[in-house]
Amino acid sequence: MISQKLQDAINYQINRELFSEYYYLSMASYFNSLSLSGFENFFLVQAQEERFHAMKLYNFLNERGGRVLLQALEAPKTEFESPIEVFELAYEHETVVSGLINDLMDLAIKENDHAVKNHVDWFVEEQVEEEDSMDTVLSKLKLINGEGHGLLILDSELAQRTFEPTEE
């Protein structure tokens, strides 16, 4: 049985992962409005990943005898100044999520719950990839000043991204 503190923390994280999905769908929609389908694809795949993360926590909490309690999601930002701003915000968002995952790990250690710690280890590693992914595209966008032929080449590159769920 999982402690109430950990159940509450995992529920909070499930809701944050679902918000991340929502946030990235908003970013995908922005890129669709610019006819940048590769960038749109990047964020559609990212949204799928966030849903996968939420469901991974959902299933785990149920397996541990906890109860999943979903909360209302706040509306994500819908207007952006540029592709660079979108990736700056996405990178910032991923660093916040990394902090939340670290907080969850700290609580699992404090509560001496090895099952939660083991499960959250996957998320710790995943966040390294998430931050790197956003930072890599952001760096490329800054190199090309977010415009011109470079933007179109990057759009074509991002169109190749696919969702591949990863397990522990």
CATH number at residue 106: 1.20.1260.10
Q: Do the domain assignments include residue 91?
A: yes
Predicted pLDDT at 44: 98
Q: Do the domain assignments include residue 164?
A: no
Q: Which domain holds residue 115?
A: 4-68+81-158
Query: Cα 151 vs. chain centroid, distance in angstroms?
Result: 23
Query: What are 11's two structure tokens?
Result: 């529920």
Query: What is the spatial distance between Cα 162 and Cα 109, in angstroms, rounded to a whole number?
Result: 34
Decide: residue 1, CB within 10 A, 0-12 exposed, 13-18 middle, 19+ buried: exposed
Query: What are 97's two structure tokens?
Result: 């999520």
Report mean pLDDT in 10-residue bins for the chain, 168 residues. 96 98 98 98 97 97 96 96 98 98 98 96 96 97 94 96 80
Predicted pLDDT at 1: 85
Considering the entire predicted model, what is its pTM? 0.94
Predicted pLDDT at 97: 98
Q: Do the domain assignments include residue 142?
A: yes
Predicted pLDDT at 167: 65
Q: Do the domain assignments include residue 127?
A: yes
Sign of CA dihedral 42, 48, 53, 56: negative
When divided into structural domains, the chain yields a total of 1
Predicted pLDDT at 149: 95
Phi, psi of 160 (to 5 degrees): -80, -10
CA 9 to each of CA 73, 92, 105, 143: distance values in angstroms, whole numbers, following the listed order: 16, 21, 10, 39
Q: Do the domain assignments include residue 60?
A: yes
Q: Do the domain assignments include residue 147?
A: yes
Predicted pLDDT at 165: 84
Residue with tokens 């706040």: 74
Q: Do the domain assignments include residue 165?
A: no
Q: Do the domain assignments include residue 86?
A: yes
Query: Cα 160 vs. chain centroid, distance in angstroms?
Result: 19
Collect all residues with Cβ–Cβ distance below 8 Å to 33 and sequence separation of at least 6: none
